[in-house]
Structure formats: C-alpha cells, structure tokens
Amino acid sequence: MTYPTYERERILNPTEEDIREVIKEAYYNGKDKTHLGNLAHYIPELTKRDPDAFGICRMDREGKLIEFGETETRFSMQSVSKVVNLALALKYKGAKEVFNHVGMEPSGDAFNSIIKLEAKSDLPYNPMINVGAIQVCSLLANEFEFEEVLDFAKILCKDDGITLNEDVYESEQGTGDRNRAMAYLLKSKGVLQADPEKTLELYFKMCSINVNARSLAGLGLIISNNGEDPITGKHYLHPEYVRILKSIMFTCGLYDASGEFGVKIGMPAKSGVGGGVVCATKGPAGIGIYGPALDQYGNSIAGVAALEHISYRLHLHVFDFV
Ligand code: GLN
C-alpha cells in the first residue's frame, strides 16, 4: 500500500488517531522507497544490514509510542551521535567556549569533506560534519571517559540498553583514515583541543554505539521539549543550549541536503550513515527512524520520505506559523 505525499489534506488539529494514521502512511511511503537507496559501503560492518529494513517511532510527552516496522532493531548511531557530543560539550563548556573552536555555518559539502578546512577556515564549519564532530570530541576527550559520554547518550535517548558495538568500532577504526587525516590536520593548525588518537577513539566509539528507532524518538522528545524529559520532569540541558542544538540540526543536520530538507520538511533532524534519523517536532514529540538504505548524501532514503509526509500532513514545518 502506498500513500503518495501531497495527495492528501493537511490536518490542522490532529487527534491521536489522526497522528497514528499519518505515521502509518509515512511508514508505507518510506518502505516504498527503500529499494531506491544503498547501504553505506565504506564501513564494511554497515554492509551487513538488510537494505529493505525500515522502522519509525514517535514518542509523545507522556511516553506513548506510535511505531511501525523495525523499531527495536539495534544499529550503530553513527553521525546522530554528533548531537549527543555537541549537547555534552554545550552543557559542560558553554556555548561561547564551544563556538570558539567550531563554527555554526552549513558547509554545503559532503559529511566527510575536508576541503573547506584547508581552503577557507582553520576551524571546522559546524559540529554536524565529521571534522566538526571530531573537533567537538577534542573538547570532551580530556575530561570525559567514553563510558561517561555513553551514559549521557543513554539518558538523552531514554534507553539503558545502548552499548558499544565492538564490531562496528573495529570496522570504523579499520577504515577511518580520512577521519584520522582530519584530526591531524586540525592538530597541525593548532586548533585540536586534545590528543588526536584520544579524540578519534571517542569519535569512533560514539559512532559505534547501538541504538534503535525508539532510542532516537526519546532523544528527539527531549530535544523537542527543550532539554527536559517530560516523563520524569528531569532537566538535562539548558533551554538556550537546546535552541542552539535545534538550530544547528536544522541548518546542518542532513549534510549537504540540509537546505532541501529545511525547505521541504522544516524540522530539526540529524541523520547517520547507519540509517538512523532523529527528529524533534512540535508537540512536543520525538521521531526516531531506522532505514539503512541511504540516498546520495548519506541520509536514510525512506526516513526522509517518511518525514516529508509527516511534516506536510501534520503541518509541522517550523515556518508553518499559522
Ligand atoms: N562513522 C562515520 C564516519 O566517520 C559517520 C558518518 C556519518 O554517519 N555520516 O564517516
């Protein structure tokens, strides 16, 4: 069954049932697209996934889930971890210090591009591309053990079951020369804030932690709710920092497809080459996605299609003012 986007009406004040129906439509929309994408091939461990897999989960402020497909399948967080790294850096270093060391501009280049670092600026353009996330990890690596950052990820994702996937970690290390090049280039410019190997260990490990679509829905919910877990009432991040996170996700979260995603979908989101996408929506609510078949930019092809459907049908674009 398929539900083509734009052929259905927008729902301005959706009921719980409406939302369920729209997420279901989005699931089938996405599932229909998986065959058009490809698994990430440059990290061997990621080629072992089912390219047809797809799951979507929405978590609301009461913790209620609406989910379809593979929402419990574990997969590596990859670049979605860049959100956790930035959140921790903002929390402990403050925004001023963080942005003394990394920019806040979309790069317009691929996630693993190094070109602007040589040609334009000694500081990485933003924390959502590899070189920027490596720089953010260098701000953390002297003060935090990996286990502490992992614990923070567990809290933000509302998921105690997140662990390090040793096979993916090994695979990342085995094929991570481009990331190594970035860390050493940053060091050569005198901007890296910790030892490159220590920095890379944290970066690679955070890419290799095993989440699922539910964990990403939890992360999206806390971001959407300004850093407070609405279910426990606990505050984990200052709202100012969460606004920064959302802004950076909005402008840079989908790599060099961020502009198009912003125009068409208009919600803060972050993707990873493991097929994960986290999205924070009005509501507040979080959406987590697992769809390892990727488009040309490295974003989940089914995930982007599903989010486009949800944004349109539920009127969730941030610039849908009325
Ligand atoms: N581990 C991957 C890398 O460093 C993460 C990239 C991604 O998810 N876009 O290349």
In residues, how long is the chain? 322
pLDDT value of position 165: 97
Q: How far is the CA of 43 from the centre of ligand 1 (A)?
A: 9
**Per-residue pLDDT tens for 7-35?**
578 898 999 999 999 999 999 999 999 99
Q: Per the residue annotation, which of 22, 76, 79, 277 is the catalytic one?
A: 79
Q: Across the 322 residues of the chain, what is the mean pLDDT of every consecutive 10-residue run?
A: 59 94 97 97 93 98 97 98 98 98 90 82 92 98 98 98 97 96 96 98 98 98 98 97 98 95 97 98 97 97 98 95 80
CA dist., res. 300 & res. 265, Å (int): 14
Mutate to test the pocket of ligand 1, among 46, 84, 130 (most ligand atoms within 8 A of CB): 130
Does ligand 1 come within 6 angstroms of the Cβ of 112? yes
pLDDT value of position 108: 81
- Taking CA atoms only, the protein residue closest to ligand 1 atom 2 is 78
**Per-residue pLDDT tens for 75-131?**
999 999 999 999 999 999 999 999 999 999 998 888 888 888 887 888 999 999 999
Q: Which atom of ligand 1 is nearest to the CA of 130?
A: 4
Does ligand 1 come within 6 angstroms of the Cβ of 207? yes
pLDDT value of position 7: 56
Coil, strand, or helix at residue 295?
Answer: coil
The question of whether 6 is a catalytic residue gets the answer no
Q: How far is the CA of 172 from the centre of ligand 1 (A)?
A: 9
pLDDT value of position 1: 44
The question of whether 258 is a catalytic residue gets the answer no
pLDDT value of position 2: 52
Query: How far, in whole angstroms, is CA 60 from its chain's centroid?
Result: 18
Q: Per the residue annotation, which of 102, 273, 278, 304 is the catalytic one?
A: 273
